[in-house]
């Protein structure tokens, strides 16, 4: 048996009969097409059209009609449509295609929309003859999301518990003391991994008891969100800095330090600068003792 070495691996050539069993069939004997999203700007369509389908269309419309017709992909925009019947699309456009290619990349006119692709003929008199209709697929939007999520925070008390669990309180200990702490941690791991709910409950009660023995403390932090909208083509600035508008709207975050006053003057002006509008927002965060 002949062998070849490739990238340090032993490769054994396949026999002809083994290769035949592994070949993907050229078709499945069914006329169908599938539309897939590639990225925000491109779609991928692949299809199979059987001889029986071509014969049926040829017998219905005539050989001469199909010979003078163009083969196309008709891409339908069906965004937000509850049901597509072939005529109620938002819009559509045609691009030439070769049926024998069996697959085609389609440059979508707009991202973030839903599409269906029809394979068919356009006759000399402008009629469209449907051969196969694909599934519906949606393209992702090619832009940053407009959704502004709230800031995630960790409650300070939970943070202190996690910090103690990490062993930060024991930095600087001797070797024997560190081994004792590690042994306790390993014991805790065994208890929590055993699946007994009482083990973790006992540990949580122990942590709560530790908290009760400490001096009372309270910490908090905050930030404010400034949002609004302006007229079309307005130039908006906050605290002297121009900001970007998205469809006439804006939103920024501003940290509010303890015991301070934040002054945020908002200005809007037209391109010439002869018309302006002003709003001044002030925020005070009081710090208790």
- In this prediction, residue 187 carries a pLDDT of 54
Question: Do the Cβ atoms of 89 and 80 come closer than 8 Å?
Answer: no
pLDDT tens digits for range 226-278: 888 888 788 888 888 888 887 778 777 777 777 667 778 888 888 888 888 88
- In this prediction, residue 29 carries a pLDDT of 87
Which residue's entry shows tokens 């070769």?
98
- In this prediction, residue 278 carries a pLDDT of 86
Angle of the 175-193 helix axis to the 197-213 helix axis, nearest 10: 130
- In this prediction, residue 142 carries a pLDDT of 81
- In this prediction, residue 35 carries a pLDDT of 96
**Domains in the chain and their CATH numbers?**
25-138 (2.60.40.10), 156-213 (no CATH), 223-284 (2.60.40.3110)
- Give φ, ψ of 262 to 5 degrees: -100, 125
User: Within the chain, which residues score under 70 in pLDDT?
Assistant: 1-23, 145-160, 162-164, 166-214, 259-260, 287-289
Mean pLDDT of the chain: 77
Number of Cβ within a 10 Å radius of residue 171: 7
Q: Name the burial class of residue 3, with classes exposed (0-12), middle (13-18) and buried (19+) by CB atoms within 10 angstroms of its CB.
A: exposed
Q: Say how far apart CA 228 and CA 147 lie, in whole Å.
A: 15
Q: What DSSP string describes 104-127?
A: EEEE-SSTT-EEEEEEEEE-TTS-
Paired residues of 264 in beta bridges: 281
Paired residues of 186 in beta bridges: none
- In this prediction, residue 1 carries a pLDDT of 43
- In this prediction, residue 180 carries a pLDDT of 58
């Amino acid at each position: 048996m002949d062998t070849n070495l490739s990238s340090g691996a032993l490769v054994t050539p396949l026999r002809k009969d083994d290769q035949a069993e592994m070949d993907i069939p050229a078709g499945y004997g069914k006329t169908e097409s599938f539309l897939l999203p590639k990225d925000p700007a491109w779609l991928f369509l692949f299809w199979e059209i059987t001889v029986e389908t071509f014969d049926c269309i040829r017998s219905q419309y005539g050989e001469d009609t199909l010979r003078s017709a163009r083969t196309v992909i008709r891409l339908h925009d069906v965004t937000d449509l509850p049901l597509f019947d072939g005529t109620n699309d938002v819009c559509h456009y045609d691009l030439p295609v070769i049926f024998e290619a069996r697959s085609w990349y389609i440059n979508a006119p707009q991202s973030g929309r839903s599409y269906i692709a029809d394979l068919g003929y356009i006759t000399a008199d402008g009629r469209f003859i449907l051969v196969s209709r694909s599934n519906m697929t949606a393209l992702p939007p090619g832009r940053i999301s407009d959704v502004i999520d709230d800031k995630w925070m960790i409650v300070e008390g939970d943070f202190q518990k996690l910090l103690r669990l990490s062993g930060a309180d024991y930095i600087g200990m001797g070797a024997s003391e560190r081994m004792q702490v590690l042994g306790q941690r390993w014991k805790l791991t065994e208890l929590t991994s055993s699946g007994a709910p009482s083990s973790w409950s006992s540990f949580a009660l122990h942590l709560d008891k530790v908290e009760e023995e400490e001096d009372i403390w309270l910490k908090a932090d905050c930030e404010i969100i400034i949002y609004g909208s302006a007229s079309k083509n307005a130039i908006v600035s906050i605290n002297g800095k121009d900001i970007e508008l998205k469809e006439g709207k804006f939103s920024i975050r501003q940290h509010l330090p303890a015991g301070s006053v934040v002054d945020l003057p908002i200005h809007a002006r037209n391109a010439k600068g002869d018309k302006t509008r002003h709003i001044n927002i002030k925020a005070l965060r009081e710090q208790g003792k």
